[in-house]
Structure 1
Amino acid sequence: MSNKILPLVGMVMAMLLQSGSMVVIKAAMNDEMNKYVLVVYSLALSTLLLLPFPFLLPRSERPPLSFSTLCSLFLLALFGSSGQIFAYVGIDLSSPTLASAMLNLIPALTFVLALLFRMEKVYWGHLSIHAKVIGTVVSIGGAFVVILYKGPPIFKAHFSSLSSSSLTFSSSFSSPQQFNWILGGFFCVADSLVSSLWYIYQASVIRKYPAVMVTVFFQVLFSTIQCSIFALIAVRDRSAWQLKLDTGLIAIFYQAIAATALRYLLCTWCVQRAGPFFCSMFKPISIIFTVIMGALFLGDDFYLGSLIGTVIIVIGFYAVMWGKATEEKGIINNDEERLESTCHNIPLLHDKDVTI
């Protein structure tokens, strides 16, 4: 029983940490913490926390790093750091709820990119391919609904926010706010697109260099360097780099410890215990957590357009995941049939040899 309950609890906790991350980021930016500085400090602290782990691995599990591998990790980190910057800008311009909804586009966009890079073969006669194609179209359509249609508020939050400058909208918001919402939505889509590239390229890198903890450490280290260079160019105000005992400092520690280290460990453990498909099914739950936490701590309202678009995205998400699961199950069944056929042939050949 615990084999089923514990991974379920673990994934719910991981999604809760992810939702908390978006709300804390928004609260810190509302408290005048620069988003680029927040990225740099969070990644730098994550690098320090992850520093001992590669050295704890046995030498047999830590193959030597070649220059080509380091270049691959640098490019992988570039996808990751770009995604983080896009996500922070998107959250700053729109809301944590919209950013959380856009994350469910990752399976659909990964499927599209896999087709473009010819990493996935398409057999149009299979139901699984139809599900993945339809799910992709539905997910992207839902994203446009969330971004372009806001609608009237379903409920208005009347809670005190962590910051007095919380971003709220009325049912008929002004043009600059509408523009920021749409622009923020497209930045969140860009984050999902870059994350999809990161997933695809990561699979290639891990096959060449399978030491996971080493690859994670160097990715975070390179991301810190890349984001630091970008932030030093983008943020000219030196006072923005000064740390204070405020929401910004809480966000840095939360991002480094809870949203990065703890969530990564939880997801890895759950994947090992229950498999990747089981874990991916919990992704849409983060939207619910984000809506509730955004209302409680930021005073965010929830709008009809966000509800309709999110439902459409989630339907598309599950269609893509169902198609992927059906496809993988078919591959496993085919492998088992081939193995069974081979096993049946072995005794016959053996008997023939004995007879001779």
Structure 2
Amino acid sequence: MAFKACEIGARYRKFKPHLLIVLIQIAYTFLYFIAEAAFNHGLNPHVFVTYRHIVASLVMLPFAYFLERKIRPKLTFALFIEIFLLSLIGIGLTLNMYFASLRYTSPTFIASMINTIASITFIIAVIFRLEVLDVTNPRGIAKILGTLLSLAGAMTMTLYKGPALRNISGALIHVGTNTVHENWLKGSILTAVSCITWSSWYIMQAFTLKRYPAQLSLTTWMCFIGGAQSAVFTVFTEHKPTAWSIGFNIEFWAIIYAGVVCSGFIIFLQLWCTKQKGPVFVTMFNPLGTMLVAFAAYFVLGEKLHIGRVLGGLTVIIGLYLLLWGKEVDQKFSTESQELSYEKGKEHKIEEVITSVDASKEP
């Protein structure tokens, strides 16, 4: 019984990052539709980004202060500037563009486009030598082919809409009528640029975590600084003071959910998974979110599902899991090589000790 419990515990520790990433994708699925309902109700996307990160920083502050008092590094000026840039790229720029694009497209389209983040992150990671790419073996070829397929699928979703599939039934839940006219070109551009900056944010996290490994504190700092940056941006883009007023309705609950769950604990979990498995791993489960969003949008909300989105989404998913297979096999090969080198090193040291002992016995 004890052996079985240990085996279950070992398996849990091994797959803990995978389980956490799945939970993150489920949480993000709810966010798409809650945010869309709030925007349809009149909530400004930039105000939404500002308020949610202020809420997140207030929620995470006590956890960061008390739980990381002994391990939190000293915040130098250079480190503060690095966190400031990290917040600007990941929150100030990315999320403002991301949620603004939701007003012009749809949750299904955005969730599909987010799949390209893994491929873009992989390309940047190769450039900065965070990922190994060997074109002489099947692992490297799978990574390259998967990246190209993912990008091709994203281009298909962006440029080809195609005929709509017939809904099996009407909408089970109505989130409101979108008061903003669809502008797929503008929305596509905003989404594509946000995917690039989002990928850069994941790469920057890997570097910053090496110098500031306190994940709760880093989450709190990013939310606070990102919220302040978004507030400044909103002041310049939204000149109506009434945009800042929030009623006790879907707008309020969208901000609370996004702040506490998505900007608070999810960022912390992503930082933990990035530290454990790397930035590319964190982005590889986005296709799960795509499938969850598409299922909810089509079967629950009655949203139109176009052939171009389906073909592009399937292409992205196939490419992404080719990349995942290449990375997992590559990581397994690297681990086995390290273990083999370690064993050889031990044998070499033992031989040296035996040789030295034999030499000391000689007259």
TM-score category of the 2 structures, normalised to the smaller one: 0.7 to 0.9
CA RMSD after TM alignment: 2.7
Q: Partner of 2:58 in structure 1?
A: 48
Displacement of 1:104 in angstroms is 1.4
Note if 1:301 corresponds to 2:304: yes
Distance 1:140 1:164 in 2: 32
1:244-276 per-position Cα deviation (integer Å, ceiling 9, x unaligned): 122211211110123233434666777899998
Query: Which of residues 189, 192, 202 in structure 2 aligns to 1:189?
Result: 192
Displacement of 1:313 in angstroms is 0.6
Are the aligned partners of 1:27 and 1:166 in contact in 2 as well (CA < 8 Å)? no
Distance 1:120 1:281 in 2: 14
1:68-126 per-position Cα deviation (integer Å, ceiling 9, x unaligned): 00000000001112111121022111011111111211121012223444555543213
Distance 1:335 1:351 in 2: 24
Bigger Cα displacement from structure 2, 235-244 vs 127-136:
127-136
Query: Which of residues 96, 109, 114 in structure 2 aligns to 1:103?
Result: 114
Local SS of the residue matching 1:236: coil
Opposite residue 161 of structure 1, the aligned amino acid is H
Distance 2:203 2:43 in 1: 33
Alignment CA distance shift 1:281-1:226 (3 Å): closer
Alignment CA distance shift 1:314-1:153 (3 Å): same
Alignment CA distance shift 1:64-1:11 (3 Å): closer
Distance 2:265 2:204 in 1: 24
Are the aligned partners of 1:138 and 1:315 in contact in 2 as well (CA < 8 Å)? yes
Distance 1:307 1:315 in 2: 12
Bigger Cα displacement from structure 2, 42-51 vs 112-121:
112-121
Local SS of the residue matching 1:60: coil
Note if 1:313 corresponds to 2:324: no
Distance 1:208 1:271 in 2: 14
Q: Partner of 1:326 in structure 2?
A: 329
Percent identical among aligned pairs is 26
Q: Partner of 2:175 in structure 1?
A: 162
Local SS of the residue matching 2:353: helix
Q: Partner of 2:89 in structure 1?
A: 79
Opposite residue 135 of structure 1, the aligned amino acid is G
Distance 2:33 2:27 in 1: 10
Note if 1:22 corresponds to 2:32: yes
Are the aligned partners of 1:277 and 1:325 in contact in 2 as well (CA < 8 Å)? no
Normalised by the length of structure 1, the TM-score is 0.88
Query: Which of residues 161, 172, 180 in structure 2 aligns to 1:150?
Result: 161
Displacement of 1:240 in angstroms is 1.0
Question: After the TM superposition, which parts of structure 1 deviate over 6 Å for at least 4 consecutive aligned residues?
Answer: 268-279
Local SS of the residue matching 1:92: coil
Alignment CA distance shift 1:268-1:232 (3 Å): closer
Q: Partner of 1:257 in structure 2?
A: 260
Opposite residue 316 of structure 1, the aligned amino acid is G
- Structure 2: state its 5+ residue gaps: 1-6
Are the aligned partners of 1:24 and 1:251 in contact in 2 as well (CA < 8 Å)? yes
Note if 1:225 corresponds to 2:238: no
Are the aligned partners of 1:27 and 1:298 in contact in 2 as well (CA < 8 Å)? no
Distance 2:61 2:98 in 1: 25
Q: Partner of 2:80 in structure 1?
A: 70
1:4-48 per-position Cα deviation (integer Å, ceiling 9, x unaligned): 589576544332211111111111111121111111111111111
1:213-260 per-position Cα deviation (integer Å, ceiling 9, x unaligned): 111111111101110000010000111111112221121111012323
Are the aligned partners of 2:209 and 2:275 in contact in 1 as well (CA < 8 Å)? no
Q: Partner of 2:4 in structure 1?
A: none
Bigger Cα displacement from structure 2, 270-279 vs 75-84:
270-279
Displacement of 1:295 in angstroms is 3.8
Distance 2:23 2:230 in 1: 28
Local SS of the residue matching 1:108: helix
Alignment CA distance shift 1:87-1:16 (3 Å): same
Displacement of 1:294 in angstroms is 2.5
Q: Partner of 2:44 in structure 1?
A: 34
Bigger Cα displacement from structure 2, 280-289 vs 24-33:
280-289
Bigger Cα displacement from structure 2, 75-84 vs 260-269:
260-269
Distance 1:199 1:215 in 2: 13
